Structure 1
Amino acid sequence: MTPAETDDGSGPGGGGITKRMLIGGVLVEKDRTFESVNPATGEVLGHAPDGDVADVEAAIAAARKAFDESGWATDKALRARCLGQLHSALTEHVEELRELTIADVGATRMLTHGNQLDAPIEIVRYYADLLPEVPLTEELDDVEIRGEMHRRWVEKEAAGVVSAIVAYNYPNQLALAKLAPALAAGCTVVLKAAPDTPLVTLALGELIAEHTDIPAGVVNVVSSSSVEAGKLMTTHPDVDVITFTGSTPVGKQIMAAASDSLKRVFLELGGKSALIVLDDADLATAAMFAAFTICSHAGQGCALTTRLVVPRAAHDQVVEMVGGMLDRVTLGDPSDMTTYMGPLISERQRDKVDGMVKRAVEAGARLVRGGKRVDPGFFYTPTLLADVDPDSEIAQEEVFGPVLAVIPHDGDDHAVEIANNSRYGLSGGVLTADEERGIAIGRRIRTGTFSINGGNYFTPDMPFGGYKESGIGRELGMPGLEEFLELKAFAVKVSS
């Protein structure tokens, strides 16, 4: 990887880290750039090329040509080999990517050893190993129709050109969870970096260009601040599939835009997940689990359990215990291995979080901890709200910040009702001394993922996605590969 780091004001944008787009196998610089800000300091970290409509057009054209004219879609062995090369390149450059992820995303060093970097790299390994074992042809029994025999089979083939659009919160995870299965399926890809965290995604494109045999045009990586350039990725006639991770409102816009040409659309959207504490659960464990979960990546995770649903009789005790746990959360420099919680991504996001907390208090919630800005950077203290109305804004809308809403319940049925009282359905969890009771609760919750007593479902072989307004389709696992495959049915009359 060529980091293109300069401190003397040279290069596009002048100073800091500069990265290049990957279009048609060529690493592309632009005179016009936009800033990427380190959220822990508020200072400019570097500059990304500000791609325009013409750049996106070129990227889509390159992906189309590579799909239609190269052997990528049909050469399974090449795809497996190239995925193995990509895994090796990511592994060899992991420490460079780690430092860039900490600075560009505001992710803590601790998190980069998990879902921010190390775990996503293993997604590539998973699909590289899975691909040779996946049968792409299924033979069906011969049948007799009108006195003649017919042989029948089904083939799985690549769906085509993929527009992959990622969010800022876990850019490595989101990019690789789309890119690896799409490439394994034989698709070609245009990957658009999130404007808040462009540098780490562009670095991925540089690695692909410089350290793999992936043919030119198979992977294209663009960055842009242009709304029109982004829209083109969802409407262009040469795009066959759209995979998007981000907010539910934007997901709805993308789905509407794609409907004109009936593109396949996969959406991983927002969440307002509930952690249910049953009356037999250990309250100290529940308090610790709830507190440290909500502070993971400063609450910027769509699957985090942001509603804590507790027995009414234990409400005040749990609130006190969670508050004590939040007092122990280390907030500060994300590059420090001892820091547990880093900053929010931007001042804009911090304003949003602070506004929602203030409105929650005005609506009757009790502010127990937090609710304060910390400068420099975009830090916000871990925040605990008690006595929350389950129908209020703070209990219904995604905050995307370190804000936990505690809601009392009056038994299992009421807890399930509260958890399901949401337009979202991404995740959730239950804590109980009785595992079977917890599983029974989980089967009643309308979500795509569910954790019993801290069970971790987030691995490369497990499908991830949501019900209701949390999305359409699944990432990871075999279902994640199938999202990028089309089925073609064949039949041939058997000669007598």
Structure 2
Amino acid sequence: MVVPYKHEPFTDFSKEENRKAMLEALEKVEKDFGKEYPLIIGGERITTEDKIESVNPANKKEIIGYVSKANKELAEQAMKVADSTFETWRKSDPKFRADILFRAAAIVRRRKHEFSAHLVKEGGKPWKEADADTAEAIDFMEYYGRQMLEIMDGKKVESRPIEYNQYHYIPLGVGVVISPWNFLFAIMCGTAVSAMVTGNTVLLKPASPTPVIAYKMMEVLEEAGLPDGVINYIPGPGGEVGDYLVDHPRTRFVSFTGSRDIGTRIFERAAKIQEGQKWLKRTIIEMGGKDTIIVDNNADLELAAQSIVQSAFGFSGQKCSACSRAVIHEDVYDEVANRIVELTKELSAGDPHDNTHFMGPVINQKGFDKIMGYIDIGKNEGKLLAGGKGDDSKGWFIEPTVFGEVDPHATIMQEEIFGPVVGLTKAKDFDEAIEIANNTEYGLTGAVITNNREHLEKAREDFHVGNLYFNRGCTAAIVGYQPFGGFNMSGTDSKAGGPDYLGQLMQPKTTSEMF
């Protein structure tokens, strides 16, 4: 009997023993700075001359590690290994696959602070955000293992006295998994292991800013008993390795999490039939968001302000679910806006090694320049109420920034900034607030703060997002509790951490036996 699923609890760092354990983990991780990490293809460690430098975004002089960089030739080698391994792995017992995940989850759980410390250093995550990322990785392994056990025997279909019918699932083939840098452990882990536990083989290309944590996960899976060649670790440039594998005729599916521009490009490339290809490639593509919190005039205004600030500035706004727009009823706009500014000015940004800071850095120079560019645009589109400054002298730090009185169609209200910037706008009534919330090409998350039950039900019907939250912030979905994925240009709405997710990585087969 499988123990019922329960999500991994978060760590209370106000307790001295937890704080001490985390500091020890950070010290341990720092001792590994500057190490070299090879590719892993078919279990073989392969070192290349060309390296990816993984840099601490809070202190860019610190090199987390030097990671071997794959090229087309190595990508082809990995494809051949994965293709060959699939022929045996697809016939493996689903219980065997699930047990690997349960053991891997237990290994990570025992070393939880160590993994979180990697996320602090490589991803620039504050302790709370790093701990949640690690917990989510554990959750994905536990949840997908249990989901596989639930569907391993297929679904019941009707039979007749003259025949016996069965409906079951088989794996797809070789999958290319391209993971993001923001949830550098959780999403990378969830997308890779879901493909593995369903009987597919995987070519894992982690995001170039954060490849070391993916190597650490590979070590855990190996320790848990994953056979060679099932997941192959091949970090490398998207324009070379990513495109080559997306286009490859033996690629059966592509799982991507990242920006709208790259996601739509992958979707287009995957749709093209290559010479020798005999299937339509599946795509699981999760992209960006332009997420809105609506504040009604009949609402807990302190809850509203707290929800907006926490959702906008958690992990420096580098979440596709982050609140980057707040639509506030005109009757309460001034009160809520003033409180948002007060709360924002209380926040500090600094090196997340020090747990007193709410915010750490943004990921790299490219991200810093992009966000500061949007802040410059915002100064011409709204009233700067808080923040607006950046400092990239040591790491890439940007103040939490609030713009008020912004037109709903302004650039900073339409384009994904992916940084600590939120725009505030007024609505004359709830209908207009819903209309403004829906006026972007995205449809990922949203929230409504109100005590009006009719308005909540209207939002349930008309607020067009994949994850809608009432009287709370619009971030922090939990695996198995709030399956996550969005509409429109936010992606294919795959609902990660949900009961339908694994079905996208398999194909149903009907067999019918006549008597």
* Cα separation, 2, equivalents of 1:238 and 1:73: 19
Q: Which amino acid aligns with 1:464?
A: F
Question: Which of the residues 261, 286, 290 maps onto 1:268?
Answer: 286
Q: Which amino acid aligns with 2:510?
A: A
Partner of 1:382: 400
Alpha-carbon distance, 1:91 to partner: 2.1
Pick closer, same or farther for the CA change 1:35–1:4 going to 2, 3 Å: farther
Structure 2 residue runs of 5 or longer lacking an equivalent are: 1-26, 274-279
For 1:393-412, list aligned pairs within 5 A.
393-412=411-430
Given that residues 5 and 16 in structure 1 are in contact (C-alpha distance below 8 angstroms), is that contact kept between their aligned partners in structure 2? no
Partner of 1:160: 173
* Cα separation, 2, equivalents of 1:357 and 1:104: 25
Given that residues 94 and 152 in structure 2 are in contact (C-alpha distance below 8 angstroms), is that contact kept between their aligned partners in structure 1? no
Question: Which of the residues 142, 148, 152 maps onto 1:131?
Answer: 148
Q: 3-state SS of the aligned residue for 1:478?
A: coil
Question: Which of the residues 275, 280, 294 maps onto 2:312?
Answer: 294
Q: 3-state SS of the aligned residue for 1:443?
A: helix
Alpha-carbon distance, 1:131 to partner: 2.5
* Cα separation, 2, equivalents of 1:457 and 1:344: 19
Given that residues 303 and 471 in structure 2 are in contact (C-alpha distance below 8 angstroms), is that contact kept between their aligned partners in structure 1? no
Question: Which of the residues 63, 71, 77 maps onto 2:95?
Answer: 77
Alpha-carbon distance, 1:275 to partner: 0.2
Q: RMSD in angstroms over aligned alpha carbons?
A: 2.1
Question: Which of the residues 222, 234, 245 maps onto 1:233?
Answer: 245
Partner deviation per Cα, 1:389-411 (whole Å, 9 max, x = no partner): 11111000000000000011111
Alpha-carbon distance, 1:34 to partner: 2.1
Alpha-carbon distance, 1:428 to partner: 0.3
Partner of 1:48: 67
Q: Which amino acid aligns with 2:122?
A: D
Q: Which amino acid aligns with 2:153?
A: L
* Cα separation, 2, equivalents of 1:223 and 1:71: 23
For 1:287-436, list aligned pairs within 5 A.
287-362=305-380, 364-374=381-391, 375-435=393-453
Residue 253 (structure 1) aligned with residue 271 (structure 2):
no
Partner of 1:12: none
Given that residues 429 and 442 in structure 1 are in contact (C-alpha distance below 8 angstroms), is that contact kept between their aligned partners in structure 2? no
Q: Which amino acid aligns with 2:217?
A: L
Partner of 1:450: 468
Given that residues 382 and 407 in structure 2 are in contact (C-alpha distance below 8 angstroms), is that contact kept between their aligned partners in structure 1? yes
Alpha-carbon distance, 1:191 to partner: 1.0
Of residues 170-179 and 223-232 in structure 1, the stretch that sits farther from structure 2 once superposed is 223-232
Partner deviation per Cα, 1:55-101 (whole Å, 9 max, x = no partner): 21122222111111x24444112112211221122223323222211
Alpha-carbon distance, 1:171 to partner: 1.2
Pick closer, same or farther for the CA change 1:217–1:4 going to 2, 3 Å: farther
Q: 3-state SS of the aligned residue for 2:283?
A: strand
Partner of 2:23: none
Partner of 1:438: 456
Q: Which amino acid aligns with 1:459?
A: I
Alpha-carbon distance, 1:469 to partner: 0.5
Alpha-carbon distance, 1:6 to partner: 9.9
Q: Which amino acid aligns with 2:497?
A: L
Residue 493 (structure 1) aligned with residue 511 (structure 2):
no
Residue 184 (structure 1) aligned with residue 197 (structure 2):
yes
Partner deviation per Cα, 1:418-464 (whole Å, 9 max, x = no partner): 01101000010011123563243132111110111117771221421
Pick closer, same or farther for the CA change 1:340–1:304 going to 2, 3 Å: same
Partner of 1:120: 137
Partner deviation per Cα, 1:181-238 (whole Å, 9 max, x = no partner): 22221111111110111111122122223x1211111111111136211111211111
* Cα separation, 1, equivalents of 2:166 and 2:461: 36
Count of equivalent residues: 478
Q: 3-state SS of the aligned residue for 1:358?
A: helix
Alpha-carbon distance, 1:315 to partner: 2.0
* Cα separation, 2, equivalents of 1:19 and 1:91: 23
Pick closer, same or farther for the CA change 1:201–1:135 going to 2, 3 Å: closer
Question: Which of the residues 204, 207, 219 maps onto 1:194?
Answer: 207
Structure 1 residue runs of 5 or longer lacking an equivalent are: 9-14
* Cα separation, 1, equivalents of 2:422 and 2:257: 23
Alpha-carbon distance, 1:176 to partner: 1.8
Alpha-carbon distance, 1:117 to partner: 1.4
Q: Which amino acid aligns with 2:204?
A: L
Of residues 471-480 and 126-135 in structure 1, the stretch that sits farther from structure 2 once superposed is 126-135
* Cα separation, 2, equivalents of 1:458 and 1:6: 30
Alpha-carbon distance, 1:326 to partner: 0.3
Of residues 70-79 and 306-315 in structure 1, the stretch that sits farther from structure 2 once superposed is 70-79
Alpha-carbon distance, 1:305 to partner: 1.6
Residue 142 (structure 1) aligned with residue 162 (structure 2):
no
* Cα separation, 1, equivalents of 2:421 and 2:56: 22
Q: What TM-score do the two structures reach when normalised by structure 1?
A: 0.92
Alpha-carbon distance, 1:7 to partner: 7.7
Q: What TM-score do the two structures reach when normalised by structure 2?
A: 0.88
